[in-house]
Amino acid sequence: MKRLQVGVIGIGFIGRQQLEAIQRIAYAEVVAIADQNFEAARELAAQFGIPACYRTGEELIADPNVEVVHNCTPNALHYSLNKLAILSGKHVYSEKPLAIRGEHAAELVTLAREHDVANGVNFNYRQNIALLEMRERVRTGAAGRVFHVYGQYLQDWLASENNYDWRVDPEMGGPSRALADIGSHCFDSAQFVMGQRIKRVYARLITAYDTRIKSGSQETFALGSAEGERVRVTNEDAGFVLAEFEDGTPASFFISQVCNGRKNDQRIQISAQEYCMEWCQERAGEIQIGYQNRGNEVVLTGTNGMISDYARGRASLPSGHAEGWAYPHKYAISCFYDSIRDGSYRQNNLVYTKFFDGGQIMKIVDACLLSQQENRWVEIDLSEP
């Protein structure tokens, strides 16, 4: 079977991470990249031995050699480029959010189905072996009835008023920032582990700075400067979200990009009848298990970990050999590619996030914004477009 021919649009932080992940998949080959910074794109193409380089995503999508498009552009470009790729008959793996408007996300779900193209959204955290194990313990009932769920995602890279990123601009990042950017990962991880969707939310959102100083690089995690243009901020820096799953299980989420000292602290905690399970992204190869009447324990993931066959079969290294933050990108992308090769992308409930799942996350974010605006619980439409 020939190798999949892949094109990557956008070579910023996440584009480079995906590019490196694809390079580690034997049956895929990056044949084109595109970025508005054409000189940087040409240098990267030369470094990785990529034959074609373009200035725009439209040019890359038009390349007849490209079968699969990775859309790693800023949020505002997701809808238009995803749509163009679908209409061009290309399989699409999009960065999240799927679009910055709910109706656009719903349209992409419908178009992908009508044009029979594989579609995925890069919610990579759900591919951690620990979360796969937690999902299996919930699915099989080994953890017992789930009482409540807690999720958090805390960062500090926007904690100062002179920290600025393109996501702050609602025209580029959308009306939601912290929830759409990192909260969406938290929602997806919790839904994946629980095996069901969030059906309603109540949210309180916080904007720490009414204005920020826009200067220098606007790349993700770039250091700010005290000199520059002061711009108004309209999207949130943090949020507290109460939620309920389809079966009525309550949940709460704390999301912040202004929490000093927290670098990439995502956690999912499942409080169940038999024990409590907690996963922390910064200790990705561990699950903390808490008991009432016996000593707590740490379960290590890995090919020789004391975990289920379901999770162990997806591990690539033995316990103690940290697979790191980059591994779930490779696994998510390889699962997406596998579904193209065997035709299973037409199925639902796959291990990776499809456009429909990404659209549901958008509905959660939109519901949180409406809840903040109207100070009430908001129900989420769980139907498929």
Question: In which residue are the tokens 């759409």 written?
Answer: 180
Among residues 147, 137, 150, 243, the alpha carbon closest in space to that of 195 is found at 137
215 vs 373: CA distance, rounded Å: 31
Alpha carbons 294 and 296: distance in angstroms, whole number: 6
Omega prior to 97 cis, within 30 of 0: yes
Model pLDDT, residue 227 = 72
The mean pLDDT values, 10 residues at a time, for the chain of 385 residues are 92 92 94 96 94 97 98 95 98 94 92 96 92 96 98 96 91 93 96 97 97 75 70 96 98 98 96 98 94 95 84 80 79 94 90 93 96 98 83
Reported pTM: 0.91
Q: Which helix (H) or strand (E) holds 121?
A: strand 119-121
Nearest CA-CA partner of 149 in 122, 131, 168, 165: 131
Residues written for the chain: 385
pLDDT for the residue numbered 18:
94
Q: Assess contact for 94 and 30: CB atoms under 8 A.
A: no
Q: What is the DSSP letter of 116?
A: T
Query: How much is the pLDDT for 1?
Result: 66
16, two tokens: 């480079």
CA atoms within 13 A on the CB side of 316: 12
First-to-final CA distance of the chain: 34
Task: Specify the amino acid at residue 51.
Answer: P
The pLDDT score that the predictor gives to residue 252 is 98
Strands (E), the chain: 4-9, 28-34, 52-54, 68-71, 91-94, 119-121, 146-154, 198-206, 211-214, 229-232, 238-245, 250-256, 265-272, 276-280, 286-290, 297-300, 378-379
H-helix or E-strand spanning residue 243: strand 238-245
pLDDT value of residue 312: 84
Closest CA to 198 of 208, 212, 184: 184
pLDDT at position 228: 79
CB 50 within 8 A of CB 44: yes
- Determine how β-strand 265-272 pairs with β-strand 250-256: unpaired
